[in-house]
Amino acid sequence: MNRINKLFQEKKNIISIYYTAGYPNLGDTVAIAEELERSGADLLEIGFPYSDPVADGPVIQASSKAALDAGMTLELLFEQLKDLRKTVSIPVLLMGYVNPLLQYGVANFCKSCAEVGVDGCIVPDLPMAEYEELYAADFKAYDLTNIFLVTPQTAPERIQKIDGLSNGFIYLLSSSATTGQNLSVSEGTEAYFSRIADLKLKNPTMIGFGISSKETFDKACQYANGAIIGTAFVKSLKADDVSGSVKEFMKTFKP
């Protein structure tokens, strides 16, 4: 069984952390992963940066730009992750936009992921139909999970279809928004989360976008198997004390 399915079978209230590869310093990628695992993170999403990240708010955009300016590329990222599995045992996903992936070659990308022990990826602007028709076979060949997003506006039939194509978890967006805004669980959001629960999906769910505090994390865990923290974590990273700032941040969630 792959690491992701195992995690969801064994744990509840899963805490997943997103951060941008090569930020705040180009060489920090693996060190952050190690420190996050030590500090209690259950799942990692490592962003490979793109010049035009339309689904992201200002904080993650800025981290992407800094990483690109420092020289981050997909090729370098895989080089950095070469020995990942010697020190990191929790599941790892790569998250990024479709164009860098196309230039690297999707089959090639899947092969590199499998070689370094990456468990899957999240590509927000890769449409479901194109994934199914052109790339699903490559993902399958290397036993990689592809994670799809669902928003409050996603129609039930479409959610069912996404559930059918998924084999890890489904990423529930707390609202239709770019990253980095605060989760406010209004009546509407609650109705949306219960609507999802009623669908009795075969895949577990994680809530992301707007999770910035212990309070919002706990709230999200009432409705899903866990939650994803991105912007708040990226914002907290200090270039001159990466390990210390990771520890400090995680203390709030895993005291």
Partner 1 sequence: MNYFVNEKGYFGDFGGAYIPEMLYPNVEELRTRYLEIIADEGFQKEFHQLLKDYVGRPSPLYLAKRLSEKYGTNIFLKREDLNHTGAHKINNTIGQILMAERLGKKRIIAETGAGQHGVATATVCALRGLECVVYMGEIDIQRQAPNVARMKMLGATVVPATSGSKTLKDATNEAMRDWINNPIDTHYIIGSVVGPHPYPDMVATFQSIISEETKKQLLEQTGSDQPDYVLACVGGGSNAMGMFYHFINDENVKLIAIEAAGKGVDSGHSAATTALGKEGVLHGSRSILMQTEDGQVIEPYSVSAGLDYPGVGPQHAHLFKTHRGQYVSVTDDEALQAGLLLTQLEGIIPAIESAHALAYLEKMEFTGKENVVICLSGRGDKDMDTYMKYFGL
Q: How far is the CB of 77 from partner 1 (least distance, A)?
A: 10
Q: Could you tell me the CA-to-CA distances from 66 to 8, 26, 31, 252 in Å, in that order?
A: 33, 9, 18, 27
154 or 167: CB nearest partner 1: 154
40 or 149: CB nearest partner 1: 149
162 or 250: CB nearest partner 1: 162
Catalytic positions: 45, 56
Q: Could you tell me the CA-to-CA distances from 149 to 2, 95, 123, 130 in Å, in that order?
A: 21, 12, 9, 15
Q: How far is the CB of 233 from partner 1 (least distance, A)?
A: 20
Judge whether 89 and 119 are in contact, CB under 8 Å. no
Q: For 19, list phi and psi in degrees, rounded to 5.
A: -150, 160
Which residues would be at the binding site for partner 1 (CB under 8 A)? 50-55, 57-58, 61, 65, 68, 73-75, 97-104, 124-127, 129-130, 148-151, 153-155, 158, 173, 176-178, 181
> 155: burial class by Cβ within 10 Å (0-12, 13-18, 19+)?
exposed
Q: How far is the CB of 253 from partner 1 (least distance, A)?
A: 26
